[in-house]
Structure 1
Amino acid sequence: MRVRSVRTAGVAVAGVAAVGALFATATPSTAAPLKINYAVTGSTDLTGLGAALPLGPGAADVEADLQQGNITGTIDLPETKTKFLLAGILDTHAKVKVTPNGPLTGTIKAGVVDVAGDFTVQITEVGHFDIGIPLSNCKTTEPVRITLTSGAGFNPAVGGTLTGNYKLPKFADCFVDTEIINFLVVGKDNPISIDLKAK
């Protein structure tokens, strides 16, 4: 009788230990993704124009699975304006709208964020000496792939800076400006910097 009781107790202890181990391994993988809203500002240099284009203020909604190291999110940026000297002499401006074609996806591993997405870049107005000519459908003919990377120690709960480079494909439907826009901007390396601040 004593032997049977000891064996029964041993089986019970082993069962409790197994259930405990199951919960211990299941909890991290089933943890809900961290949802964060960011205020977004930044800038990009349009190398072919010798112009700096401010970005934002906009907003980003991000879900980060810190256990698996995956990130998905959306970003919304308003139309913005840049000024530059065309050919170094002609006072020129352009209004630009950058629109994501889908969600941003990437990873966060060892405190470093890598994220990428496809965008459409539209020039909504060009002009000289602050006199603008609206362009209804002047935009890139294929998606612009932008990849961004943070420095070490990125804290999702606070935010930080992401940087990268991208190239612009050809533009179309820009009327008489199509050829000159493509001559100046297509295929150039353009640096970009995005600042995220958790709300």
Structure 2
Amino acid sequence: MAALAAITTTAGVAAALGTGPASAATVEITRSGGSSSCSVDMPGLPRFETSTGVSVTMSVPDTAVVNQPTASIPWRASGSTNLDLSAKSPLTAYLVAKGAASVSLTGHVDLQYYGVSGTDRHPITFTTTTPLPAASTQVEGSGELPPFLFTRVGPQVTAMYHGGSGVSVTPLKADGSPTSIGTIPVLCLGSPWFEPWHNVNVLPGPTSADYAVTARAGVAGTEVDLGAGSLALTEALDKSVTGSLDLPDSGTAALRLLGVIPATASVRVTPGPVTGSFADGFTAPATVTVADLSILGIPLLRDQNTCQSTTTLALTAGDGLAINHSGSLTGNYDLPAFTGCGYYTGLVSSLFSGNGNTITATTTD
């Protein structure tokens, strides 16, 4: 069995880290072994010597995120044996006499991860079929090895233990089925190989926090208590933040129509996804709904969930708000004209549409 040894390392291109992580640079590493010394015993033929060799090239990441699998590891491999399967070879004549029309060449490598969490043994095989007589005994293949997964932050040294490799030869009949010979019995001698393989810088994963909040909105010149809600934020390695602000309750706005006529309205603010950063602020699309509206105590709208205006909240972190510290989000927004309010669409727009509205969500311990 040929021992794999490092012969080249070249810079690769950026590759996606799949389901877990962001993209990371990769390097292309080739592990190749010299010829293994092999002997072949075939009934009716004298014992003869041959050799096999296998080379595997893998595209592996330079960085990973702790507890997140990297992308799968692409590999391509080639192998060969120096069995003489030419037209004048006694071995070829022997195989043809036994009903062989072609041979199946199968390369195999038994690889094991070291220093990486998860299943460590990863055998790979690759096969090609060539008619007899054969001018070449080369076999090539490609595929993907499982991702790396690291459970510790910092520089990590991975290694690949090579339990064995080689190329097997199976004579096939014209219909593609094996002959009575089966796989040609080849005994090869080689040494297992073990050495540091590749350095991977394992980075901390994204950090998250969930907060309970109380919220208030300034709308149409009046303060509206929006009650209790929740704020969930996740900060990535590049300091970008994604999250959600959930404000399920409605608040009551006390208004004056034409400055003198008392009116009350039920107002709900429904933010969409929050994006941005603690340093530069956040934005979130939002829908403002006026579900109920009464003038002089006379209900004009009741449970009207289609009476809405859409806007964007511009939010700033305050009072030390961070992933590991409570604080507040404050912001402002404009309200365009409302739609979906039936006969009272114009009235609702005249009461609520305008600039300079505010919102504050304060975390609670």
Q: Could you state the TM-score of these two structures normalised by the residue count of structure 2?
A: 0.42
**1:77-116: CA deviation from partner (whole Å, max 9, x where unpaired):** 122222222223222111122223x4211112xxx36111
CA distance in 1, matches of 2:200, 2:276: 25
Check 1:151–1:79 CA distance in 2 against 1; reply closer, same or farther (3 A cut): closer
CA distance in 2, matches of 1:180, 1:131: 14
Check 1:176–1:73 CA distance in 2 against 1; reply closer, same or farther (3 A cut): same
2:213 pairs with 27, 35, 40, which one? 40
The aligned counterpart of 1:157 is 324
The question of whether the paired residues in 2 share the 8 Å contact of 1:158 and 1:197 is answered with no
2:274 pairs with 104, 127, 133, which one? 104
The aligned counterpart of 1:11 is none
The question of whether the paired residues in 2 share the 8 Å contact of 1:113 and 1:154 is answered with no
CA distance in 1, matches of 2:332, 2:291: 23
The question of whether the paired residues in 1 share the 8 Å contact of 2:215 and 2:229 is answered with no
The aligned counterpart of 1:26 is 201
CA distance in 1, matches of 2:273, 2:295: 35
Mapping 1:54-93, distance limit 5 Å: 54-65=225-236, 67-77=237-247, 78-93=249-264
- Tell me the CA shift for residue 129 of structure 1: 4.7
The question of whether the paired residues in 1 share the 8 Å contact of 2:336 and 2:353 is answered with yes
AA of the residue aligned to 2:242: T
- Tell me the CA shift for residue 162 of structure 1: 1.8
- Tell me the CA shift for residue 130 of structure 1: 4.7
1:119 equivalent to 2:293? Answer: no
CA distance in 2, matches of 1:103, 1:152: 22
The aligned counterpart of 2:360 is 193
CA distance in 1, matches of 2:364, 2:280: 15
- Tell me the CA shift for residue 153 of structure 1: 3.9
Identity rate, percent: 28
Secondary structure at 1:126 match in 2: strand
Check 1:105–1:189 CA distance in 2 against 1; reply closer, same or farther (3 A cut): same
Unaligned 5+ segments in structure 1 are 1-20
CA distance in 1, matches of 2:305, 2:361: 27
**1:27-82: CA deviation from partner (whole Å, max 9, x where unpaired):** 33xx2222211112121211xx32111223111222122x3211111121122222
Secondary structure at 2:355 match in 1: coil
CA distance in 2, matches of 1:186, 1:88: 15
CA distance in 1, matches of 2:336, 2:260: 26
AA of the residue aligned to 1:70: S
Unaligned 5+ segments in structure 2 are 1-153, 157-198
Mapping 1:120-199, distance limit 5 Å: 120-132=287-299, 133-134=301-302, 135-140=304-309, 143-151=310-318, 153-197=320-364
Tell me whether 177-186 or 151-160 shows the greater mean CA deviation.
Answer: 151-160
CA distance in 2, matches of 1:163, 1:147: 8
CA distance in 2, matches of 1:94, 1:158: 35
CA distance in 1, matches of 2:254, 2:325: 32
Check 1:68–1:136 CA distance in 2 against 1; reply closer, same or farther (3 A cut): closer
CA distance in 2, matches of 1:52, 1:43: 7
- Looking at secondary structure, tell me which structure has more helix per residue: 1
- Tell me the CA shift for residue 131 of structure 1: 4.8
Tell me whether 32-41 or 78-87 shows the greater mean CA deviation.
Answer: 78-87
Count, aligned residues: 169
The question of whether the paired residues in 1 share the 8 Å contact of 2:257 and 2:351 is answered with no
The question of whether the paired residues in 2 share the 8 Å contact of 1:107 and 1:114 is answered with yes
- Tell me the CA shift for residue 197 of structure 1: 3.1
The structure with the larger Rg is 2
Report the RMSD for the aligned CA atoms in angstroms.
2.7
Q: Could you state the TM-score of these two structures normalised by the residue count of structure 1?
A: 0.73
